[in-house]
Amino acid sequence: MTTFEANPEQPRLVEDNYLNHTRGLWSWLFTLDHKRIGVMYLIAVLSAFFVAGVLALLVRTQLLTPGGTIMNQQEYNQAFTLHGGIMVFLVIIPSIPAALGNFVLPIMLGAKDVAFPRLNLMSFWLWIIGALFFVGALVTGGLDTGWTFYTPYSVDSRPEVGSMGGVIPAVTGAFILGFASIFTGMNFIVTIHRLRPPGMTWFRMPLFLWGIYATAILQVIATPVLGITLALLAVERAFGIGIFDPTLGGDPVLYQHFFWFYSHPAVYIMILPGMAIISDLIAVHSHRHIFGYRFIAYSSIAIALFSFLVWGHHMFTSGQSALVNVIFSAITFSVAIPSAIKVFNWLATMYKGSISWNTPMLYAMGFIFIFTIGGLTGLHLGTLATDVHLHDTYFVVAHFHYVMMGSALIAMIGGLHHWWPKITGRMYNENWGRLGFALVFIGFNVTFFSQFMLGSQGMPRRYATYPEDAGFQIYHIFSTAGSYILAIGFFVTAGYLAQSIFGGRRAPANPWGGRSLEWQCSSPPPYNNFSEPPTVGDCYDFSVLEWKSEEEGYVWRSDVARPEEESPAGA
């Protein structure tokens, strides 16, 4: 049954793999295999991404003209609320850790599975239940609070002027999704601590694992605060306990503190795994040892820690005292440094490399450009004097789309291409891949760069219509045109990836020349990943690999000793 493929010198097709090990729908839905759970998460997340993307196109279409085109005020408010809610809670937060991380993390560790496979399956099912609650929010009256659920609007259930009826189902859904996220994080922390193979010290881990580890800490520590906050919100709305509602003596700004105490770290739950993917993509596709390993690893941890101390920068105009604002502004700038360190180290990694212009690397390079803009525009928003003008305008919208969409999701799509051969056992068409990237990259920048000007010129967020004489329309036209290009890019991508499953060339074990352990088992991996825990060396030392043309992939150089024989002093 087990055809263990730890030796890429003699590659052969492994007939038994995780995809065909057992058959039938049941064997998927209740599998404990981290790879299948990862694939199911991937399908679920991409489905939600499709829904949220359609909503985004509706929003962009509405804003083509000052008076709106296709929706009335309330429909527009629902469209942007659902777009935001679905993208944050159902797509970006689970995308990299729960989908790609689930698939790759145990294999990178040479383990058979995560530490708690049943908890992993439960996480997936909680995601499904959470998603159903979001659907329930639509059925029970719609949701128009914005994804932030700000009080007192969200606890005001009066018809016409209050929020729509779906608030309690939606926050219940977000509450449940929070547990899905906590379970994934706990699982990964324990897995990384306990299941590393012999020889893999902390500083020999692929940087992807460092990023996922930092993310998991945030998921476990920050998410409960969101759970408590949303539970209080639901109770406030249902029974009027008077914690957030000012007419009952509550404090609506307290909600904002609670909410951002989670949701700022949540921003890093979204971007840290993206950075983690990029660290590995740059190294593997440049065939160069990562530059400044420890600095990149420590910067992930630094970002995770700082991210707990900066939530107040979302509230510079909400009525906080000037002193508190000054303190939060100062701490906010501290997060800029580790992010900058990562960018410089990625660039240094490319120096003297052998840089492949394939799709994953193009996404990685696109990420560096987009993330640089996203990070730099954070300076305008962390600066008190300029944030007062820019707060709650399209400048903020553009900034966080550059980080969450242009960075986190672009990294996810780059990672999807990187591990696609491993996941499906098939190669996609590289030329279509480059075309898809070009459309996504151009479409993204046209859509969101114009929103920086829109915002700094004064266009507020969450507006279904806007004044005709303010000069906003030209930017909106650019932005909407860009969103259509972006959509075409994603359809092209979905098309060639789907095609590759049926008609793609069979993938070798190691198509890119990666050194981490997932490239040492066959594509797709066998059910058990490895029959015995492999030992590892420096996962960024690519000099031990060479191209083998019969295999169309990279194999271990015949004249170099395998890591099993390496002395353990190589760290």
Partner 1 sequence: MIQSLLEPIIMSTLAEATEATGKTFWMPEAASSVAGQIDWILEFINVICYVFLFLVTAVLVWFAVKYRRKPGEHAINDEGPTHGLALELTWTLIPTGLVVAIFWVGMVGYIDLRESPEDSYEVSVTGQQWFWTFNHPQYGVIQSNELHVPLNRPVRLIMGSTDVLHSLFVPAFRVKQDLVPGRYSTLWFKAIKAGSYQLYCTEYCGKDHSKMLATVHVLPEDEFQETMGKFAREYEDLPDNDLPVYALTRLYNRCSSCHSLDGTNSTGPTFKGLWDRVQNGDTVFTDGTTLKDYMGDGGEYEVPENYIRESILNPGKLIRENYANVMPNNFASQLKPRQVEALVLMMKNLDKLTDEGWVGEDGKVQTPEQPAVDSSASAGPGMTEEGG
Q: Which stretch binds partner 1 (CB under 8 A): 102-110, 177-185, 337-345, 487-495?
A: 337-345
According to the binding rule CB under 8 A, does residue 354 interact with partner 1? yes
Which residues are bridge partners to 506 per DSSP? Answer: 426
- Of 33-41, 109-117, 381-389, 522-530, the window that binds partner 1 (rule: CB under 8 A) is 381-389
Please say which residue, 18 or 475, places its beta carbon nearer to partner 1.
475
Q: Does 278 bind partner 1 (CB under 8 A)?
A: no
**Residue 169, preceding peptide bond in cis (omega within 30° of 0):** no
68 is written with which tokens? 């709106």
Query: Cβ 388 to partner 1, closest distance in Å?
Result: 5
Residue 454 and residue 458: Cα distance in Å, rounded? 7
φ and ψ of 482, to 5 deg:
-60, -40
Closest to partner 1 by CB, 37 or 361: 361
CB 415, CB 399: distance < 8 Å: no
Q: Which of 287, 399, 401, 476 binds partner 1 (CB under 8 A)?
A: 287
Helix (H, G, I), strand (E, B) or coil at 553: strand
Instruction: Provide the token pair at 221.
Output: 């520590």
Tell the smallest beta-carbon distance from residue 191 to partner 1 (Å). 27
Cβ(229)–Cβ(315) under 8 Å? no
Residues paired with 547 in a beta bridge? 554
Indicate the residue among 287 and 401 with the shorter CB distance to partner 1. Answer: 287
User: Exposed, middle or buried by CB within 10 Å (0-12, 13-18, 19+), for 81?
Assistant: buried
Q: Which is nearer to partner 1, 113 or 280 (CB)?
A: 280
Q: Is 309 in the site for partner 1 (CB under 8 A)?
A: no
Query: Does 83 contact partner 1 by CB under 8 A?
Result: no
Report 392-411 residues binding partner 1 (CB under 8 A).
392-393
Complex with partner 1: residue 130 or 142, whichever CB lies closer: 142
Name, in order, each residue with C-beta under 8 angstroms of 140's C-beta and a sequence gap of 6 or more.
165, 166, 169
Q: Minimum distance from CB of 80 to partner 1 (Å)?
A: 9
Which of 238, 44, 218 minimizes the C-alpha distance to 130?
A: 44
Q: What part of residues 445-484 is at the interface with partner 1 (CB under 8 A)?
A: 453, 456-458, 460-471
For position 150 contacting partner 1 by CB under 8 A, the verdict is yes
Is the CB of 235 or the CB of 253 nearer to partner 1? 253
CB 470 within 8 A of CB 455: no
User: In the set 177, 266, 397, 545, which binds partner 1 (CB under 8 A)?
Assistant: 545
356 counts as binding partner 1 under rule CB under 8 A: yes
What residues does 306 pair with on adjacent strands? Answer: none
The two tokens of residue 90 are 């159902």
Of the residues 513, 526, 534, 537, which one makes contact with partner 1 according to CB under 8 A: 513
Q: Which stretch binds partner 1 (CB under 8 A): 182-190, 210-218, 232-240, 280-288?
A: 280-288
